[in-house]
């Protein structure tokens, strides 16, 4: 250890250890957020100790096998071999890292209230091992006030004082799985601390690993940034989803309208309609804010309405499919329906909150026989759904009474879909390029 990392206040010591890369970084939760973050710290020269409750995941990581699409196994294996990364299920080792970043899930309960049980469990584990000089950072998306109201009292219950003995901050994850341009390293990172010293220490820790940092005045401001980002998307997606219904009733092509509006060089940002919204962020984050505001006797009507519109889109598209089947003289009951794409977004294998799940359930509820094709999701097991991806071929398309494009994966040959499917419900305008190529000939 260098002399600079052995003298001064706990804050000065940790800042020095961040600067000379001697700090040990701990990551709690090695999923699509935690593992890429661990790799960036390792790439910056830090040693990283990852924590996860899944022994299978930990064993795979220690063997150099990545379970996260954005982390190549070759990169992981190199860091493991170099001694820069190791994983464990032993939470008693949380006293070892100088920095503990908490990247655990924050789902919603069945009543759409925030479920912070994973955050509380991680906080309790940290509390049991908390020592002087550690920095604790929550990265999980949550409602404003979580860091100060839930984590701070638990950690100060050890007798250590925040800002002096230990440091506490919030820095929201901004991961976009499968994005080829923006990743953990080059996406600006928001950082807010319980105290100014907490923020200063956090900035020093992240600085070597992240290209740009955005300091905030408080944890609450940082917590609200992430909620605003995804509420903005939810509201605008809700608007264009409603516009899709409006255009349908008016007999106008919504895709043509949106593309024309997007030619305006100012005052308009293009959002595209679809079968609903999926993933961990957009369907969930606005509910965190709505719940928090209800505790303050305020109803976020605009946000809630957008959520209602987006949640109703699977029903709208299934109704479109049923109408098209009726036009062919067929009832939904007994019809063969092929769903193309079940991931929540294109070119990834993540099905969390995917609208395709609702589409499948609604079709089956109407008596349809549903199959699906998704090159990124070989099997689909979710509550009452248990299916395997079928090949997308002229034969499988002709065998279906209707095909519904829910996720527009780039690997799908939509020319084959257009040529061989009897009826197509295109929720993503995926066939547009096929039509464009045809008109260009």
- Residues serving a catalytic function are 281
Q: Tokens in use for 145?
A: 């006030």
Q: 139, 210 in Cβ contact below 8 A?
A: no
Buried/exposed 219-236: b ≥16 CB within 10 Å, e otherwise: bbebbbbbbebbbebbbe
Residue 296, number of CB atoms within 10 A of its CB: 6
Q: 95, 129 in Cβ contact below 8 A?
A: yes
Q: Tokens in use for 20?
A: 């000379």
In the chain, helix, strand, coil percent, each to 5?
A: 45, 15, 40
Beta-carbon contacts of 417 under 8 Å, excluding residues fewer than 6 positions away, are 340, 392, 397, 403, 405, 424, 430, 431, 434
Q: Nearest Cα to 41, choosing from 107, 94, 100?
A: 100
Could you give the 3-state DSSP secondary structure of residue 131? coil
Q: Nearest Cα to 25, choosing from 45, 55, 11?
A: 45
Residue 313, number of CB atoms within 10 A of its CB: 24
Could you give the 3-state DSSP secondary structure of residue 336? strand
CA 409, distance to chain mean position in Å, is: 18
The single-letter DSSP state of residue 211 is S
212/230 Cα distance (integer angstroms):
20
Residue 406, number of CB atoms within 10 A of its CB: 30
70/342 Cα distance (integer angstroms):
19
Q: Nearest Cα to 26, choosing from 106, 110, 104, 112?
A: 104
Q: 292, 117 in Cβ contact below 8 A?
A: no
Beta-carbon contacts of 6 under 8 Å, excluding residues fewer than 6 positions away, are 13
433/416 Cα distance (integer angstroms):
12
Pairing of strands 385-388, 379-382: antiparallel
Q: Tokens in use for 152?
A: 């701070």
Using the structure block, give the residue that is written with the tokens 């010293």: 197
CA atoms within 13 A on the CB side of 244: 25
């Amino acid at each position: 250890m260098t002399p600079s990392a052995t003298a001064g206040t706990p804050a000065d010591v940790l800042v020095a250890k961040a600067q000379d890369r001697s700090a040990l970084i701990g990551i709690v939760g090695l999923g699509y957020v935690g593992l890429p973050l661990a790799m960036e710290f390792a790439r910056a020269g830090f040693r990283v100790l990852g924590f996860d409750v899944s022994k299978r995941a930990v064993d795979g990581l220690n063997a150099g096998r990545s379970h996260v699409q954005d982390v190549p196994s070759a990169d992981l294996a190199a860091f493991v071999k170099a001694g820069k990364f190791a994983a464990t299920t032993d939470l008693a080792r949380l006293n070892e890292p100088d920095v503990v970043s908490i990247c655990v899930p924050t789902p919603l309960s069945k009543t759409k209230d925030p479920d912070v049980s994973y955050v509380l469990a991680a906080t309790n584990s940290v509390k049991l091992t908390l020592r002087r000089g550690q920095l604790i950072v929550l990265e999980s998306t949550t409602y404003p006030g979580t860091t100060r109201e839930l984590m701070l009292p638990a950690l100060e219950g050890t007798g250590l004082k925040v800002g002096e003995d230990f440091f506490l901050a919030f820095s929201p994850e901004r991961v976009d799985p499968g994005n080829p341009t923006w990743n953990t390293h080059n996406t600006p990172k928001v950082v807010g601390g319980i105290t100014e010293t907490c923020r200063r220490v956090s900035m020093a820790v992240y600085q070597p690993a992240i290209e740009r940092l955005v300091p905030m005045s408080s944890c609450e401001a940082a917590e609200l940034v992430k909620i605003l980002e995804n509420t903005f998307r939810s509201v605008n997606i809700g608007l264009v989803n409603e516009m899709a219904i409006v255009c349908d009733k008016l007999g106008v092509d919504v895709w043509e309208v949106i593309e024309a509006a997007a030619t305006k060089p100012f005052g308009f940002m293009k959002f595209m309609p679809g079968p609903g919204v999926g993933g961990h962020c957009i369907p969930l984050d606005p509910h965190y804010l709505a719940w928090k505001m209800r505790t303050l006797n305020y109803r976020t009507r605009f946000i809630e309405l957008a959520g209602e519109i987006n949640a109703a889109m699977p029903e709208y598209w299934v109704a479109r499919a049923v109408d098209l089947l009726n036009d062919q003289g067929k009832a939904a009951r007994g019809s063969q329906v092929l769903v193309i794409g079940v991931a929540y977004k294109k070119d990834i294998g993540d099905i969390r909150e995917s609208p395709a799940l609702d589409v499948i359930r609604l079709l089956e509820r109407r008596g349809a026989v549903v199959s699906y094709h998704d090159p990124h999701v070989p099997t689909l097991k979710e509550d009452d759904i248990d299916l395997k991806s079928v090949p997308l071929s002229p034969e499988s398309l002709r065998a279906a009474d209707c095909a519904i494009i829910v996720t527009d994966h780039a690997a799908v040959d939509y020319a084959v879909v257009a040529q061989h499917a009897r009826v197509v419900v295109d929720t993503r305008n995926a066939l547009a390029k096929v039509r464009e190529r045809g008109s260009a000939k």
